[in-house]
Structure 1
């Protein structure tokens, strides 16, 4: 970090102990969390090695179709085996262009179990937008998409797998998918996967320029599970496997992917998946499935609190709503608190480049800071740098935020794969 993070200013002796007056580095106030040291520990193996008491992993909100945790593990193993049988190799990239689906985590974890790489895109993107994004991707081997989007993806010249909404499908209509998901587990020869190997290429929002393919390793995703999802769960005195989460935000985006397709599955929580968000349907789903946690982004939060019909549903099961991905106005926060006074509200901060790890809020009986994104995540370091002079800034000053830690990306498709530092205005 020295050199890249040079540029210092004199600081007072009264600066807090989580801020270094020598280096200008902010350290997390949380204790360090242990991360696996085995260089050959892949994400899927790590995920399924976490013990919990969960029974139901995923539920389709519309049909009620569900996948239990034993079924999930079996389906992931069969998916990996099926992909191997059709010739998918470690290191190849598989594109997932799907709306929210209970099958998305099965596909994602099956691909990663094989040592291949996933990349995701918004299924609403045009063919031109997809072509532009995919121009930086090498070794594209396969595309997973819904049946109505097949024509959009024929341009890549690779096999296309049409994916049903759930497993209650006619195999005659989805023969390729059926062949893959019916593979014979386990793999006859488990691939060698290193933590440092690329696991995912996710596209950034492009808020500071054109969208870039962010290269994330298995170790980045493992760090996300520990430093974001499992750490947050550890702060509450409850059994996380009893929690029920509503997946209404996009699962192709790093926020939804990190929670619903990966992290929460290590806790044994139940994820209720909405294929498309509708405020009234979300309220009905919360009541029907006794949802306890509702992760949102500002547009979803706005639509939800303004849907007067929501007041006709029993939302007493809802314990917490958490917002991320974009700033919230204080007015919107106060409106939510007035409408849902029994719900704990927190905010968080993270980026695609930091695998959704950054900061997370936490309320207590004596301290509630609804407008704050919380404290720096465990094992993470930060600097706040004056964007004109490059000088490190002390607490209470604004500047550009620099992050360093085990969740920070391996690199990007337009730059060095060795990058371990990111910055963003704050």
Structure 2
């Protein structure tokens, strides 16, 4: 099913086609066009030190040439184990310009998991952070890594500075200072067949699997998401590199290409970060203020200072921002868009954001690493219909169906089941896991997400829950997200997550973990009052059986709630 327009529902950007033309180019083409188009405009800034598009291009080609001169190219994997920083974009594009494959790793991965990922992807080079180098060293002995490139805080302000290294390591400063000319090393890349990204998933639910994303996958989804957000179509510049032509006028899309400013916190080792908040922003000529870690007070300060035009992140980011003292009076008058992903926004949270920023369009979307990044989005143009509680409609060239959880033909409109996606952004498969690939992608090309959702009559998708998060209470399916929506509507609740507590008679009991807001309403919350407020809205088998107050809901660096940690806590408590 694809989105349709009714007299009261306008979901498609006016003047834009349903299908885009995706040029057959490698990912490096995105950077080349951006350097040519945006030149001396600031691409990234960190600690008040700017990096222009022109310098980004030179530094990226320097990294590519150093890698090529040291035997790294097409078919080789380079793993990057670092937080967001000013040098990261040059490393990312340098790897791809060399024809190699980028494999991002969470810099907080425990040593055994890091070793497992490096071994599984066959990384020959590891770019890592000097502050975790002693920890990393112990994980490398059993991996295929041949070269360790070290970077650190010193490089964020001075690319010529020296990182803290040990004998045998390579300082990233050497790569950044190499020959900056464009040797077109990626000319031999096959966009349809060669891997651009080898990204790993499963960080919140279990064993990670490598996701194979070709250059075509990445370029396609950067264009799908970029055109959807900005009201544009793909275009080739005079040199044949890919850029955007904005079709929507300022009355529908007031933020113009080459004028946007954002604080960037979405981690670049995550799909949403590297596609939307690295490639997407580079293509659009956006100035990105880099924050290595999320500090809501500092985020707000820089949002005001740099007069940002948009906010972006996962729901926990907005929960934290809304609690910053003084946000109601902060000058956020330039903000015209709010982009949310990684997990659905609770409707009460949307209402609070609308009250704070009435002129901003809230563009909630949905996707997974297995579909490169994005599959659906609420309309980003001003006259579009946005349905709170949904993640929008399928974007360009993307189809969504809802299938029975046990398998079968598509379900009718309005019935919940497994979300299945088909489109040019769907991964090639799981790295060296043919059985897992065959289980996830059927013979007709539909990727089975494991998410539970429902499509309405206008093609808007609502995510009900993850199949892995679903609870079984006396044989009934209980979806935590429904309870979490009610929890966020309780005055005084700042954060919430629902998991199952093992029970010999019932199977699993719905239990809420709740963070109190730092105000009178939060202080007044009790176990009994929260349970009563939620349970009056749900049928008996869905009722909360307990409420546990905690200081913070555990989340991944990508902003996803780590329900696994809460579920393990429940299992441990029950066993004890």
TM-score by length of 1: 0.86
Larger mean CA deviation between 108-117 and 256-265 belongs to: 256-265
Separation in structure 1 between the aligned mates of residue 104 and residue 372 of structure 2, nearest angstrom? 14
The answer for the alignment partner of 1:242 in structure 2 is 259
Separation in structure 2 between the aligned mates of residue 129 and residue 16 of structure 1, nearest angstrom? 39
Does 2:164 match 1:193?
no
Higher RCO (Cα < 8 Å, 6 or more apart) = 1
Q: 1:33 aligns with which of 12, 20, 23?
A: 20
Q: 2:332 aligns with which of 315, 322, 336?
A: 315
Q: Any conservation in 2 of the 1:280–1:309 contact (CA below 8 Å)? A: no
Give, in angstroms, the shift of residue 198 of structure 1.
0.6
Separation in structure 2 between the aligned mates of residue 210 and residue 171 of structure 1, nearest angstrom? 38
Cα-to-partner distance string for 1:257-276 (whole Å, 9 max, x where unaligned): 11222122112111111111
The answer for the alignment partner of 1:105 in structure 2 is 89
Separation in structure 2 between the aligned mates of residue 246 and residue 54 of structure 1, nearest angstrom? 20
Q: 1:266 aligns with which of 283, 288, 303?
A: 283
The answer for the alignment partner of 1:280 in structure 2 is 297
**Structure number with bigger Rg:** 2
Give, in angstroms, the shift of residue 169 of structure 1.
5.1
Separation in structure 2 between the aligned mates of residue 189 and residue 286 of structure 1, nearest angstrom? 38
Cα-to-partner distance string for 1:269-322 (whole Å, 9 max, x where unaligned): 111111111111000011111111111101111101111243453222222111
The answer for the alignment partner of 2:394 in structure 1 is 376
Larger proportion of strand: 2
Q: Any conservation in 2 of the 1:297–1:324 contact (CA below 8 Å)? A: yes
Q: Any conservation in 1 of the 2:160–2:173 contact (CA below 8 Å)? A: no
The answer for the alignment partner of 2:373 in structure 1 is 356
Does 2:204 match 1:220?
no
- Change in 2 beyond 3 A, CA 1:298/1:54: farther
Separation in structure 1 between the aligned mates of residue 3 and residue 303 of structure 2, nearest angstrom? 43
- Describe the SS at the equivalent of 1:261: helix
- Describe the SS at the equivalent of 2:124: strand
How many residue pairs get aligned? The number is 400
- Change in 2 beyond 3 A, CA 1:122/1:172: closer
TM alignment of 1:81-100, pairs within 5 A: 81-100=65-84
Give, in angstroms, the shift of residue 335 of structure 1.
2.0
Separation in structure 1 between the aligned mates of residue 428 and residue 135 of structure 2, nearest angstrom? 30
Q: Any conservation in 1 of the 2:403–2:411 contact (CA below 8 Å)? A: yes
Give, in angstroms, the shift of residue 187 of structure 1.
5.7
The answer for the alignment partner of 2:49 in structure 1 is 65
The answer for the alignment partner of 2:136 in structure 1 is 153
- Describe the SS at the equivalent of 1:259: helix
Q: Unpaired segments of 5 or more residues in structure 1? A: 1-14, 20-26
Separation in structure 1 between the aligned mates of residue 274 and residue 213 of structure 2, nearest angstrom? 13
Q: Any conservation in 2 of the 1:153–1:160 contact (CA below 8 Å)? A: no
- Change in 2 beyond 3 A, CA 1:330/1:365: same
Cα-to-partner distance string for 1:41-86 (whole Å, 9 max, x where unaligned): 211124423664464343334x111111111111111110111123
Cα-to-partner distance string for 1:346-377 (whole Å, 9 max, x where unaligned): 21001000011201112534734232211101
Cα-to-partner distance string for 1:117-140 (whole Å, 9 max, x where unaligned): 1111211222122123334212x1
Q: 1:168 aligns with which of 154, 158, 163?
A: 158
- Describe the SS at the equivalent of 2:327: helix
Aligned-CA RMSD value: 2.7
The answer for the alignment partner of 1:5 in structure 2 is none
Separation in structure 1 between the aligned mates of residue 384 and residue 260 of structure 2, nearest angstrom? 24
The answer for the alignment partner of 1:204 in structure 2 is 201
Give, in angstroms, the shift of residue 105 of structure 1.
1.2
Q: 2:358 aligns with which of 332, 335, 341?
A: 341
- Change in 2 beyond 3 A, CA 1:237/1:343: closer
